[in-house]
Amino acid sequence: MFPIAVLALVATAQAHTVAWTKGMYCSGGPDLSTVNLNTNTAVGPLYNLAKEDWWFQHERGCDAAPPQDGEVLELPAGGSFTVELAHNRAQTTLSYGGQYASDWPDGKDHPEDWAGPGSPPDCIQDDGAMHTNNQSMAAGTAFAISYQSDLADVTIDNLAVFTVLEHTPWKRIATYEVPADLPACPEGGCTCAWLWRRILTANSKPRYMAGYKCNVTGSTSSKQVAPAQVAAYCEGDSTKCVKGAKQMIAFNQQTGNNVQVPNGKTPMYNTAWGWESGAQNDIFV
């Protein structure tokens, strides 16, 4: 029964990607009465929605599906944490003992230099969910943190991007660095978001935000994360980059958009918008 369900899912061309890990909202789907090992509810993009609907995937009920008590994504200060980027929980080690997980987000095998057809390569066709031509063109993904334990208290300016991983999503395993100066979280932990803004193509709905209960461990820092500012386009002129704590990118929604986007540009978590890859060590007051 299960393999048929997965095959059916992968065959529908536009699969998408999210970071799967302990502590994730909606990790078993939005229905709290059951744990769906084969869920992809948290994977779908968010596009042209009102702020209250896209914020932490409210429109699909994920903001009301917290992780089980005690499950938290640990962020070791000055260290790193690893998540699984995949199109469906079934393709991660969170389900079925990992037997349907591969090195890649779709549970299949691909060459190391996987690329789309042609030269220079077009978008990868056999997996629409990657939305890239090759690894070097992958847009980059990020995590943001809010020092609020209750998701209802998280706001766009108390949620700061603290780590960026260039050239992702690419393989299933993705490891993000944690700034050494991140202070400890309040007693109930912090709230995090995984973020991806992929390259804009015709008919694409390229914005992703997923929620996590997270907690900074091993911190000796007494610094505070600064209020997050709106990022600015600064390709080729680093003096235009917004330094310090930055908000997630909100764009192509009905309401809640924050960035000013020059014609023909796509806002992404990369250097063109002021984000170097790795721990964001400049986000403190």
Site of interaction with ligand NAG (CB under 6 A): 72, 115, 120-121, 133-134, 136-137, 185, 188-189, 215, 217
3-class secondary-structure state, position 173: strand
Residue 38 CB, nearest distance to ligand NAG (Å)?
A: 28
Residue 170 CB, nearest distance to ligand NAG (Å)?
A: 12
Contact by Cβ (8 Å): 121, 134: yes
* Backbone phi, psi, residue 205, to 5°: -125, 75
Nearer to ligand NAG, 136 or 254 (CB): 136
Per-residue 3-state assignment (H helix, E strand, C coil) for 55-104: HHHHHHCHHHCCCCCCCCEEEECCCEEEEEEECCHHHCCCCHHHCCCCCC
Nearer to ligand NAG, 39 or 133 (CB): 133
Residue 37 CB, nearest distance to ligand NAG (Å)?
A: 24
Nearer to ligand NAG, 197 or 246 (CB): 197
Nearer to ligand NAG, 98 or 188 (CB): 188
Nearer to ligand NAG, 93 or 134 (CB): 134
Q: Which residue has the tokens 């996987």?
A: 114
Cα torsion through 256, 164, 12, 106, rounded to 10: -160
Nearer to ligand NAG, 28 or 116 (CB): 116
Residue 72 CB, nearest distance to ligand NAG (Å)?
A: 5
Residue 49 CB, nearest distance to ligand NAG (Å)?
A: 30
Residue 75 CB, nearest distance to ligand NAG (Å)?
A: 9
Q: Bridge partners of 279?
A: 163
Residue 163 CB, nearest distance to ligand NAG (Å)?
A: 18
* Backbone phi, psi, residue 192, to 5°: -120, 165
Classify residue 247 by its DSSP letter.
P
Q: d(Cα 135, Cα 103) in Å, to the nearest integer? A: 14
Nearer to ligand NAG, 53 or 71 (CB): 71
Contact by Cβ (8 Å): 240, 81: no
Q: d(Cα 61, Cα 63) in Å, to the nearest integer? A: 6
Q: Which residue has the tokens 């909100």?
A: 250
The CA angle 229-234-236, to the nearest 5 degrees, is 160
Nearer to ligand NAG, 167 or 205 (CB): 167
Burial of 226 (0-12, 13-18, 19+ CB in 10 A): middle
Tokens matching residue 62 = 């994920």
Q: Which contiguous run of DSSP H or E holds residue 278?
A: strand 278-279
Residue 66 CB, nearest distance to ligand NAG (Å)?
A: 12
